[in-house]
């Protein structure tokens, strides 16, 4: 078994430098019928904002949402002249740590804070910390394999690849997946690339494997990759760059990064291969529930989505959260955080489609705006 080791710094590029285009925009995508667009309507409207407060706000965390935060910041500056947000896409683990250490005004994470982190956040805030979902995006199982431009994977096969149970591209289990029968799969090693840093993307991906392929993924979840195989790279752009540089590579990465030499695999959860695109992701969001229903802590329970086999629904997605204090000790920080998040949840949503994200459904937008309004 090949043990995971960090890659060298070559090819690891700051994600902020990457200009991203929309993912999976082909209307003829597999299982992407017109009925998929009838999912929950996207967030709409313009922000009614009380501008002012601290500027610039400081924030850090998820690299998956860096391009979305750039859009939010642009819209925020238009709405509130002179107001700025400085965001460092250092990864979810770093964002939570910096937030809990009171080094930043809000954090960004690809999974909700809980347990010890939530307790530390409460100590830092002097009040409960809330998870505010603001950016939704698919996670791609992205690969580079010469001559193979349409590969379908089941959760079981994906789990075996990322835990070392399947090591060659011509493994009979891959060939047996419906849609792969006619593929010319080479006798070539599968080169797994995972996140070397702590990442909510890793956490969500491993939770997906645990929910959708319980018998084949026994490695658990968490922000560190537990598969024990392959190589590691820093950040979303790091893993994408590493796979692009190596024919036969595969990784898990936010959908917006699965382009320019990478191909997202279709996922077959039991109802046929489903392509990664916005309509198919939105169909999965229809089933989303909250871990703490009836509160302003809006952490989503995604396990039901991950284990679903709804026809035409792309189940592998993540939600990035802005981690905020429900009560800030500094009213200037509270005022600016509320203004920024209000703009992000309204004016900032529609432009996200051009960067490969999925605007939050209107039903979720209503809950988000109510939670933001309740911050003091």
Q: Confirm whether 45-137+291-301+318-374 and 138-269 share one CATH topology.
A: yes
- Could you read off the pLDDT of 239-252 as tens digits, one per residue? 999 999 989 999 99
Enumerate residues 6+ apart whose C-beta is below 8 A from 248: 144, 145, 169, 186, 188, 189, 190, 191
Q: Binding site residues for phosphate, as ranges?
A: 62-64, 92, 110, 199-201
Q: Which CATH architecture has domain 138-269?
A: 3-Layer(aba) Sandwich (3.40)
Which residue, 275, 192, 266, 211, is CA-closest to 24?
A: 275
Q: What is the share, in percent, of the chain residues with pLDDT greater than 90? A: 72
Whether domain 45-137+291-301+318-374 has CATH 3.40.50.300: no
Helix, strand, or coil (residue 129): strand
For residues 131 and 300, give the distance between their C-alpha atoms in angstroms, rounded to a whole number: 9
Cβ atoms of 155 and 213 within 8 Å: the answer is: yes
- Could you read off the pLDDT of 249-301 as tens digits, one per residue? 999 998 889 989 999 999 999 999 999 988 888 788 776 789 999 999 999 98
pTM of the model: 0.72
In the prediction, which pLDDT does 40 show?
A: 52
Tell me the domain boundaries of the chain: 45-137+291-301+318-374, 138-269
Q: Binding site residues, as ranges?
A: 62-64, 92, 110, 199-201
DSSP of 130-175: EEEEEEEEEEEEEEE-TT----EE-HHHHHHHHTTS--BTT-HHHH
């Amino acid at each position: 078994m090949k043990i995971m080791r960090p890659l060298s710094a070559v090819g690891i590029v700051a994600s902020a430098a990457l200009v991203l285009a929309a993912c999976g925009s082909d209307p003829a995508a597999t299982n992407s019928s017109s009925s998929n667009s009838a999912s929950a309507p996207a967030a709409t409207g313009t922000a009614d904002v009380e501008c002012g407060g601290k500027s610039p706000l400081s924030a850090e965390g998820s690299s998956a949402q860096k391009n979305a935060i750039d859009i939010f910041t642009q819209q925020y500056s238009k709405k509130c002249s002179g107001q700025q947000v400085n965001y460092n896409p250092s990864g979810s683990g770093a964002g939570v740590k910096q937030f809990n250490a009171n080094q930043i005004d809000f954090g960004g994470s690809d999974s909700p804070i809980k347990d010890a982190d939530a307790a530390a956040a409460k100590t830092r805030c002097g009040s409960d910390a809330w998870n505010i979902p603001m950016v939704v995006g698919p996670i791609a199982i992205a690969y580079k394999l010469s001559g193979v431009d349409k590969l379908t994977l089941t959760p079981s096969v994906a789990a075996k690849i990322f835990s070392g149970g399947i090591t060659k591209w011509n493994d009979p289990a891959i060939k047996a997946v419906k849609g792969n029968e006619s593929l010319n799969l080479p006798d070539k090693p599968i080169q797994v690339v995972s996140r070397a840093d702590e990442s909510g993307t890793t956490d969500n991906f491993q939770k997906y494997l645990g929910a959708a392929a319980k018998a084949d993924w026994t490695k658990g979840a968490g922000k560190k990759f537990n598969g024990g195989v392959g190589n590691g790279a820093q950040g979303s752009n790091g893993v994408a760059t590493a796979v692009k540089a190596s024919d036969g590579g595969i990784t898990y990465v936010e959908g917006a990064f699965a382009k320019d030499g990478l191909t997202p695999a279709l996922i077959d959860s039991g109802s046929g291969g489903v392509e990664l695109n916005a309509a198919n992701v939105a169909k999965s969001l229809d089933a989303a529930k909250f871990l703490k229903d009836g509160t302003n802590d809006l952490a989503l329970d995604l396990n039901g989505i991950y284990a679903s086999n709804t026809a035409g629904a792309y189940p592998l997605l993540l939600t990035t959260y802005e981690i905020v204090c429900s009560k800030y000790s500094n009213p200037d920080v509270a005022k600016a955080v509320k203004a920024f998040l209000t703009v992000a949840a309204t004016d900032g949503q529609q432009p996200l489609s051009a960067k490969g994200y999925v605007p939050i459904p209107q039903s979720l937008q209503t809950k988000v705006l109510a939670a933001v309004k309740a911050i003091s």
